[in-house]
A and B are shown apart, each in its own frame.
Chain A
């Protein structure tokens, strides 16, 4: 019987890293948007936060696209 420990290990590692990274990025994006929301409420703006937020969301969208690619391929 041959158990593919290497494959199991890489599933473990990849899942952990990718999940945490994606959720982290997405949360940063949300935090950025919500900071801008507060800033607009006070009459100001937070251009940097918004730019950062959209960069984060773009990265997440990229990950989703890669996920779909994996499913289709």
Chain B
């Protein structure tokens, strides 16, 4: 491991930090429905998801290879670029977590990477067509596919299971939900832990420690798996609450239909070579399940906020990534400034989040379903003072101006 410079070490640590935020951001995907329908106790659910994520991380390196070999030109990339990209992705993940909105961690990562690459090597270094085929179209297709499948499945399970009640059906739906949630967790581990492995590998290649086109080394796989599992176990309770309770009220039948649809879409898409985002699939499936039950209601105000966040993910992360890359361009002290900025704004976001704590004890409370999100946004609107202010405002204006006071329940 010669040439292991300081900047490379910083990149690796930042990548693992991103992996951690990715884990707690995406716990909701696998476990929100299971928790909100009461199939598993919150702590048990996140523990199970964490273990499966860890297992998933060791299963293959396919995804890691696509990310380290696909999206941008490997040749012109310096470790600073990857560092800047990660800064953009982490900040966006933390912000969306603060306001409790599920958004795609992969889009955040790609956005950061694209922004930093543009700032460093110009627009030419980004493969525009890859952007459209791998990011834009899947983002639109995933919720539609998963939503429609979940809607039909919900209708079917209600009409077929009309006479089924009592213990047998309660136990049955519980088991079904746990199984499909487990599949989603496992798939998530193979996908998202590998994205970090891909990034670290890309950095090692860019820094000259690894030969181009190498597979990720063992210590990379191990640390990425552990980081994502820890993040998952910590649990992004705010997002779980939005997904499990905020979008719609789920009954066990709906939870089962939604999670099965999501698991199927994720597996089918990654196997058939048209990868869809886990977050988008699960959110779509939950909404579809909400529409599928007679009298079921989707809270479109919450859903709209979520869609806006999806649309902003890539440009916002790209913007922060580009600014960070510009600042690191001033040399070592620039990099230091960005690192301090990252730590300071993360701490600020965490501090704001403590004003209204959401954890495993109150994750299913829905006294104010949409209000939770609105208050969180209201708390951010005057952005934290200090150096963090300028860049934070640049990333949040749209979500903060968009939501009107909650009209939940319609």
Q: Enumerate chain A interface residues (CB-CB to B < 8 A).
A: 1-4, 7-8, 10-12, 14-16, 18-20, 22-24, 26-31, 33-38, 60, 64, 67-68, 70-73
Contacts and interface: CB of A to CB of B under 8 A. Distances in A.
Interface string B332-354: 00000000000000000000000
Interface stretch (B67-75, B238-246, B266-274, B396-404): B266-274
Q: Interface range on chain B: under 10, 10 to 19, 20 to 34, or 35 or more? A: 35 or more
Nearest to A3: B133
A26 B62 CA distance: 32
A63 to B, nearest CB: 9
Nearest to B128: A1
B125 interface: no
Interface string B270-288: 1111101000000000000
11 contacts: A1-B133, A3-B137, A4-B133, A8-B137, A11-B141, A15-B264, A19-B153, A19-B260, A30-B169, A31-B160, A64-B183
A60 B264 CA distance: 12
Interface stretch (B88-96, B172-180, B321-329, B370-378): B172-180
B152 A20 contact: yes
A43 to B, nearest CB: 16
Nearest to B253: A27
A31 to B, nearest CB: 4
A51 B377 CA distance: 53
A1 B132 contact: yes
B164 A31 contact: yes
Main secondary structure of the interface of B (DSSP, over half): helix
A71 to B, nearest CB: 5
A70 B267 contact: yes
Contacts of B157: 23-24, 26-27
B166 interface: yes
B265 A11 contact: yes
Contacts of B165: 34
Given A7-B274, A11-B274, A67-B263, A18 B268 contact: yes
B132 A19 contact: no
B264 A30 contact: no
Contacts of A60: 176, 179
Interface stretch (B37-45, B79-87, B142-150, B226-234): B142-150
A2 B60 contact: no
A14 B268 contact: yes
